Amino acid sequence: RIIVIGSSNTDMVVRTEHFPQPGETVLGNEFLMNPGGKGANQAVAAARLGGNVVFICKIGDDLFGESSIKLLKEEGININHVLIDNQLPSGVALITIDKKGENNIVVAPGANAALSVENIKDLDTLISTDTLLLMQLEIPLNTVKQVVLDAYEKGAKIVLNPAPACELPEEIYQKLHLITPNEKEASMLTGIQVKDINSAKEAAEILIAKGVKNVVITLGAKGALAIFNGECLFTEAKVVNAIDTTAAGDVFNGALVVALNEGKHIKEALEFAVEASAISVTRLGAQSSAPYRNELESYQQK
Ligand code: ADP
């Protein structure tokens, strides 16, 4: 089973020709309101690809939270452990996308910022030695740290997608089965300017030296590099017409944990994740862009 602990947001998205400069107003095209948040996005990506997913997050007692959770349930995700904060609003993200498909994002975390380790005491009962626990950094860092330490003791394999970029407490590195930064996050964690395969390999080696068991660094349209069980591999990204890269990393992470949870070799798992994220960048939105297993399989047959 896969447990995802992380954020749930409502994304408010506008497409525009170019990003506004400070003080500038630009006119956008259509407005879209989509469920998002890295935690929820990764949970949805994993569930659509066939994962048995429990999702734990904290929402506000409001319509945004209610509607995003309803959608998660419709995806077949176990939402029995979702928490509701009585004071804070549900998280929102304000997103603009330019004509190249690049994005600019401001997140107002709301209830996500109040997800504490005390809230998830029943996690113990969910974890066993075949649990893959996937987390990101859109909930308090201290919660991530405590959960990592506790879940490791219980025998879970912990996958951390260290996004958005921030420095990590040194003691958690040794407890991580896998860390999955993108270029920016890998640069921030290692001090190496990650921009290509060689610099990614150098950064991955530093992360291994810090005590992480395995590393996958995503390199956007270039692909992904892994050091897994001591072996270094690179998988090229698929060449597609990218229109919105908003949740590329989220779909990649959701797909990667599904593949690993199914016992696939890292080479197959990377291919699976690269294909799933390639499909997602050809579509608008975050959760809405995540492919279903049958869509991925028909893509693979092409
Ligand atoms: P994040 O979304 O976290 O910044 P990346 O940009 O590294 O993460 O993207 C994650 C993965 O998504 C990449 O490793 C790649 O496989 C895929 N991907 C991202 N952008 C593109 C693109 N333009 N074309 C094809 N695949 C892409």
CATH number reported for the structural domain that contains residue 241 in this entry: 3.40.1190.20
Q: Residue 132 falls within a domain, yes or no?
A: yes
Q: Is 221 annotated as a binding residue?
A: yes
Q: What is the pLDDT of residues 109-154, one digit of tens each?
A: 999 999 999 988 888 899 988 899 999 999 999 999 999 999 999 9
Report the distance separating Cα 9 and Cα 36, nearest Å.
5
Q: Is 122 annotated as a binding residue?
A: no
Q: Residue 299 falls within a domain, yes or no?
A: no
- What is the reported pLDDT for 246? 83
- What is the reported pLDDT for 128? 87
| Protein residue closest via CA to atom 1 of ligand 1 | 249
Report the distance separating Cα 282 and Cα 5, nearest Å.
27
**ipTM over cut 0.95:** yes
Q: Residue 117 falls within a domain, yes or no?
A: yes
pTM of the model: 0.94
| Inter-CA distances, 252 with 7, 45, 121, 197, Å | 17, 8, 29, 18
Residue 297 tokens read as 């399989």
Q: Which domain holds residue 88?
A: 2-291
Residue type, 167: E
More confident residue, 161 or 124: 161
250 is catalytic: yes
The answer to which of 85-89, 149-153, 282-286 has the lowest mean pLDDT is: 282-286
Q: Residue 297 falls within a domain, yes or no?
A: no
When computed from its CA atoms, the radius of gyration of the chain, rounded to whole angstroms, is 18
Backbone angles phi, psi at 53, to 5 degrees: -115, 130
Q: Domain count of the chain?
A: 1
Q: Residue 175 falls within a domain, yes or no?
A: yes
Residue 72 has pLDDT above 90, yes or no: yes
Q: What is the pLDDT of residues 8-63, one digit of tens each?
A: 999 999 999 999 999 999 999 989 898 999 999 999 999 999 999 999 999 999 99
> What percent of the chain shows pLDDT beyond 90?
86
Q: Residue 32 falls within a domain, yes or no?
A: yes
**β-pairing, 2-5 with 83-85?**
unpaired
Report the distance separating Cα 39 and Cα 188, nearest Å.
21
Q: Residue 298 falls within a domain, yes or no?
A: no
Q: Residue 301 falls within a domain, yes or no?
A: no
Ligand 1: nearest atom to the Cα of 184:
4
